[in-house]
Amino acid sequence: MSCLFCRIISGEIPSTPVYSDERVYAFADINPQAPLHVLVVPKRHIATLNDLGESDDGIVGEMVRRAAVIAREHGHGDGGYRTVFNCNADAGQTVFHVHLHLLAGRRLGWPPG
Ligand code: 5GP
Ligand code: ZN
């Protein structure tokens, strides 16, 4: 198993858990870009957004809703937060296992770099 996030999900590589259920894992980003920076991933390997099929609509919905719950639990529901999927090189995707970034706790610039 060569995928970094699959190894994190299996526990082979340690991470700081934020949430876990049968289908979704959320953990702290190792190089946080905001006071709260969490990655929400499907436990099943999917490389990029381009690899999503119709049957993945449910898992993507769970990931987005989970990010919103985590943001609210950390007190950022009203102040605001950002969720980002990077896909492939031009967007800066470096780990090829779909992940939703949740960023909060500071004013985030727009447009992004
Ligand atoms: P991408 O650039 O692919 O959208 O985001 C990958 C994210 O994974 C980056 O924010 C990076 O800091 C994070 N990351 C990379 N390696 C590790 C790791 O070993 N552990 C954790 N917790 N995060 C990682
Ligand atoms: Zn994977």
Distance 31 CA to ligand 1 centre (A): 7
Q: In ligand 1, which atom is closest to the CA atom of 32?
A: 12
State the pLDDT confidence band at 47, using cuts at 50, 70 and 90: very high
Q: How many other C-beta atoms can be found within 10 angstroms of the C-beta atom of residue 5?
A: 21
Average pLDDT in the 48-66 region?
98
* Annotated catalytic residue 99: yes
CB 43 within 8 A of CB 74: no
Q: If you ran DSSP here, which 8-state letter would residue 28 be given?
A: E
Q: Is 30 in the pocket of ligand 1 (CB under 6 A)?
A: yes
Catalytic residue, chosen from 37, 74, 99, 101, is 99
What pLDDT, in 10s, does the model give residues 73-113? Answer: 999 999 999 999 999 999 999 999 999 999 999 999 999 98
**Span 3-32, pLDDT tens digits:** 999 999 999 999 999 999 999 999 999 999
